Amino acid sequence: MTTYRIIGIVLIVIGIGMLFLGASLFTYQGPPLNPIVSEMGKYSFLWWFPTLIVGILLTLISKKKTK
């Protein structure tokens, strides 16, 4: 595996994790959270899609370089 492929796969997994984290904190209805956790949920929900796209692009670039 090339470095681009490993980084791309890791970014895809991180992007999916960010989606689940952001969605779970977005729908949270319990007692008030720590402001840091609240901000982390907001930014992870905002940046999950670009992270996923960059991971997919790096994986595709690594496939083209190996051919």
Tokens found for residue 28 = 């949270």
pLDDT at 20: 92
**Residue 63 pLDDT:** 85
Q: What integer pLDDT is reported at residue 45 of this predicted model?
A: 86
So what's the pLDDT on residue 67?
67
Q: What is the reported pLDDT for 18?
A: 92
Domain ranges across the chain: 3-66
pLDDT tens per residue across span 1-44: 788 899 999 999 999 999 998 888 888 888 888 888 888 888 98
